[in-house]
Amino acid sequence: MRAATPPSDRAGVALPLALAVMVAVTVISATAIQVALSDYQANRGARLSARALFAAEAGAQRMLATWDGGAWTSLQPGDSASSGWVRLPDGSRYRSVVLRVDDAADVPLYRVLTEGRPSRTGTARRMVLTMVRGGESAPLVTDGAARVRGRLQLRGMRDPSDPPMVDGRDHVPTAWASECPSAGSAVAGAILGRSSDLRLQRDATVAGSPGASYVGTMGTDVTQTIGPTTWDDLVAQADWSYSGTTRFRNAIGPSASGGVCNTSDRENWGAPEVPSSVCSDYAPIIYVDGNLRIDRPGQGQGILVVDGNLDIRKEFNYYGVVIVNGRLIMRDEGFIAGAVVVRGGRNGNQTSLVRNESRIRFSSCAVARVSTGSGGTDFLPGRWWFEMP
C-alpha cells in the first residue's frame, strides 16, 4: 500500500498552485479590462467621429438653405469669408469657409469647406467640401411695404407731425448702414384691393410711390406665392416651428453660448440692432401654426410666417419679411422694417390694425438680407460633395 501524503506536503503543493491560479485570473481580468477599455475608446471615438461628420454634412446643407445673398455674393474671385461657429440643436457645431473660385464668371462658383465637431469641447472633427453655384437670391417682396387683403385700419395719435404709419420709401436700418446700399426708389406704401379697404383715423397717413395702391382683385392666395418661393417652401425650411396659439411673455432677443450664437434658444431671433453681436447674421425662418402674440419689447430678423393672427404689442422691432394668413394687429410702438403680406383670414375680409406709434417701413436691404436660398443657389452637378482628410 502507498503511504498517504503528509498534510505538510499537500500544503506545500496547494499554495504555489493557488498563487498561480490567482496570477492567471489577474492577468486574464486585466487583459479583459484592457480590451474592454480599448473597445470603449474605439467605439466612443467612432461615435464622436460620426457625429462630427453628421455636423459637417448638416452644416453644408444648411449653408445652401440659408445662403447669405449679401455676405457670400459680395465676395470677389479669390476672396473668402467664414460663417463662424454655428451650434446645431443636438449641441454639435459646424463652421464653413466660403471661397469664390470662379474667374468673374456670369454664374459665380464657390468652394465651401465645412468643419464639423461633436461638441464645443470635443476634439473629433470631420471636414466636408461642397461646390455651390449661383447665389443670387431674388428678393421676396419688391412692390410695397404692406400688401393686405381685407381692410387696413391705421389709427394715429392725433398728431399731424407724426411720420407715416405705413411707408413705402426705402429705409436703411441704422445698424446696417455699413452693409446696405443707399436707399433705393420708393414703392407703394399699402397695396389693397379697393380704396374703401383703407381707413385712416386720428391723423394717420401713408407714404410711398404711391402712398396707397389699389389692384381691384386680390385673391386669397396672396400669401401662397411670395416672390420666387412659396408658403410651403418657407414652412419646410423653418428653423423654428410652433404649434397652436403661441404667446411670448419674455423678451425676444439675441443670446450666445460659449462665444457663438445660441441658435437652440427659442427666444433668439437674431440681433438686427446689435451689429457686434455673434447673432447679427442669424436670420431664422419662424413658422407659427396658429395665432402669435408678442407681449414684450424685443428684436428679431428673418422671415416670420404665421398661419393665424399676428398680434404685436409693446416695442417689438422686426426686420425682414412678415407673412400672415390671418390679420395683423400692431399696438403701441411695434416696428417692422422690410415688408408685410397679409391674407386677412380664411375669406380674406378681416380688418388689420396698426395703431398709436406702430410703424411699417419698406426696406429693400432688410428684404434682401433674409431672402436666402430663394433664387438660383444650388450644388454643382456631378460630384459636388466629398470628405476632406
- Three-class SS of 145-195: EEEECCEEEEECCCCCCCCCCEECCCCCCHHHCCCCCCCCCCCEEEEECCH
For residue 239, give the nearest of 259, 260, 214, 263 by alpha carbon: 263
For residue 237, give the nearest of 55, 46, 371 by alpha carbon: 371
SS3 217: coil
Q: Which triple of cell numbers denotes residue 12?
A: 506545500
pTM beyond 0.85: the answer is no
Rounded Cα distance, 56 and 58, in Å: 5
Q: Which triple of cell numbers denotes residue 29?
A: 481580468
Distances (CA, A) of 178 to 172, 175, 182: 10, 8, 10
Q: State residue 189 phi and psi, 5-degree precision.
A: -70, -60
Cell 426696406 -> residue: 363
SS3 279: coil
One pLDDT digit (tens) per residue for the chain, 389 residues: 555 555 555 556 777 777 777 877 787 877 778 777 776 676 777 888 899 999 999 988 888 777 765 567 768 889 998 988 988 888 899 999 999 998 876 668 899 999 999 987 778 899 999 998 765 556 889 999 999 999 999 999 999 999 999 999 999 998 888 778 788 899 999 999 999 999 999 999 999 999 999 998 888 889 998 887 889 988 988 889 999 999 999 999 999 988 889 988 999 999 999 988 999 889 999 999 999 999 999 999 999 999 999 999 889 999 999 999 999 999 989 999 999 999 999 888 999 999 999 999 999 999 988 875 444 567 777 767 778 77
Q: Before 381, cis peptide (omega within 30)?
A: no
Close Cβ partners of 99 (under 8 Å, ≥ 6 residues apart): 75, 78, 79, 80, 110, 111, 112, 113
Q: In this structure, are residues 85 and 260 in contact, taking their beta carbons and an 8 Å threshold?
A: yes
